[in-house]
Amino acid sequence: MVIQIILLAGAILLLTVFVRQWDRVRTRAWKRLAFLAFVGANVYAIVRPQDTTWVAKQMGVGRGTDLILYLLVIGVAFITLNTYMRFRSMEKKITDLARTIAIRDAQVLNQDRISLLNDTMRVSSAAAQAPTPEVEHAHSPGS
Amino acid sequence: MHDVSTAWIVIPVFNEDRVIAQVVEETAAVFPNIVCVDDGSSDNTEEQIYGSKAHLIKHPINLGQGAALQTGIAYALAQPGMKYVITFDADGQHRVEDAINMLEIAAAGDLDVVLGSRFLNANTGIPWIKRVVLRTAAALSPTSRKLKLTDAHNGLRVMNRKAASMLQITMNGMAHASEIVAFLARSGLRIQEAPVTVRYTDYSKAKGQSLINGVNILFDISIRQRGM
């Protein structure tokens, strides 16, 4: 049937195009055009419902309602994928932001903390815990 | 022995207040430079790290183990004199002896990366179900096969400065282990596995990832490999 080929091709196209070229300007433009076409088709189907059945018949689908259902399935798949991608890219931005903050704070925090710790360690370590004999002390840390 | 003061231990920590202080103490007996990345824990992990000898980095929100590793590595790279990064799990499953051994191997063989493997030793005490799953994961992954790895999901790794600065972990969650292997396969770095023993305590077993989480990992990886 024609409809099966069209629907399958649509699904494959969506997967490849939107996963491969996600967020490129051109892809975004096509997404918007697709949205406009979607709204246009919507209006048309509301005004002349019998026409959707005619289109469906041409494609080998029984009723216009079924055709719209099939198209919706592809639409939902696309939206799911699109949302997933968007979340991924947002997550990346948040991660970069949080990492920058965390490292900046840590540098300030640890500068004081570690030098203090090292001082107390030097006093106690001489007596108490002798580190593993092979450990070299050529470079002392935190210099 | 290789100079341990040029090595930085990176420990991603999430809700491990029962064991983290002890893990840091054991590690600090040998390695002077330790950085713990508290990944937005809700328990007393932060206080425990604060009271230890480790450098403390605090993620303002929970981001996942992969993100915590990347943060710790970025911090270590900024430290003067740093030559090696050693990634280490917070739950006490890794042994400090293994880390020293791997550092030796990396330094002696002039290798870029040394990965810990549970399966190079004959007797390891790994629960059999875990053994089957991990071996299957290593065998199925094309990148693991390319590198001839026996254990793709071991948290104990030694990387030199070059490898550490090339690594960009984008998988915040648990898929980062596969991501690291995929990166290594592409990188052309000199890589070797070294035998390690994993201590399967009741605590680390309870903390370890459930096998069903493998489904999530596979999904994340497959989406990413399609060109993200």
Of B107, B177, B109, nearest to B149 by C-alpha is: B177
Q: With CB atoms and an 8 Å threshold, state whether B75 touches A106.
A: yes
- pLDDT of B21 reads 92
- Written in H, E and C, the secondary structure of chain A is CHHHHHHHHHHHHHHHHHHHCCCCHHHHHHHHHHHHHHHHHHHHHHHCHHHHHHHHHHHCCCCHHHHHHHHHHHHHHHHHHHHHHHHHHHHHHHHHHHHHHHHHHHHHHHHHHHHHHHHHHHHHHHHCCCCCCCCCCCCCCCC
For residue A132, list chain B residues with Cβ-Cβ distance below 8 A.
29-30
- Is the confidence at residue A44, as pLDDT, over 50? yes
Chain B nearest C-alpha distance from A102 (Å) = 5
pLDDT at residue B94 tops 80:
yes
Angle between helices B176-187 and B213-225 (to 10 degrees): 40
CA atoms of B6 and B86, how far apart (whole Å): 11
Locate the domains of chain B by residue range.
4-225
User: Tens digits of per-residue pLDDT, B46-66?
Assistant: 999 999 989 999 999 999 999
B76-81: list long-range contacts, CB under 8 Å, 24+ apart. Answer: B76/B8, B76/B10, B76/B33, B76/B35, B76/B164, B77/B161, B77/B164, B77/B165, B78/A103, B78/A107, B79/B8, B79/B33, B80/A143, B81/A139, B81/A141, B81/A143, B81/B5, B81/B6
What does the pLDDT look like over B98-154, one tens digit per residue?
999 999 999 998 899 999 988 777 655 666 777 777 777 767 666 666 777 777 778
Class of domain B4-225: alpha beta
Interface probe for A, chosen from B34, B37, B57, B77 (most Cβ of A below 10 Å), is B57
Out of B4, B60, B226, the one facing A98 most closely (by C-beta) is B60
Does residue B175 or residue B19 have the better pLDDT?
A: B19
Q: Return the pLDDT at B69.
A: 94
Interface test with B, best of A83, A92, A135 (most B CBs within 10 A): A135
Is A139–B5 a contact, with Cβ atoms under 8 angstroms apart? yes
CB pairs under 8 A between A and B: 88
| Confidence label for B211 from pLDDT (cuts 50, 70 and 90) | low
Chain B residues with CB-CB distance to A84 below 8 A: 223
Around B33, how many Cα atoms within 13 Å sit in the side-chain half-sphere?
A: 29
| pLDDT recorded at residue A143 | 37
A120 interfacial to chain B (CB closer than 8 Å): no
Task: Kindly determine whether residue B57 and residue A102, on different chains, have CB atoms separated by under 8 Å.
Answer: yes
Contacts of B224 (CB under 8 A, 6+ apart): B170, B171, B175, B179
Q: Do A110 and B55 touch (CB under 8 A)?
A: yes
CB neighbours of A63 closer than 8 A, spacing ≥ 6? A53, A56
ipTM at complex level: 0.78
Asked if B55's CB is within 8 angstroms of A106's CB, the reply is yes
Kindly state whether B225 is in contact with chain A, defined as any CB-CB distance less than 8 angstroms.
no
pLDDT for A136 equals 45
Segments making up each domain of chain A, as ranges: 2-85
Residues of A numbered 22-81 whose beta carbons fall under 8 angstroms of chain B's beta carbons: which are they? 22
Query: 73-112 in A: which are within 8 Å (CB) of B?
Result: 84-85, 88, 91-92, 94-95, 98-99, 101-103, 105-107, 109-110
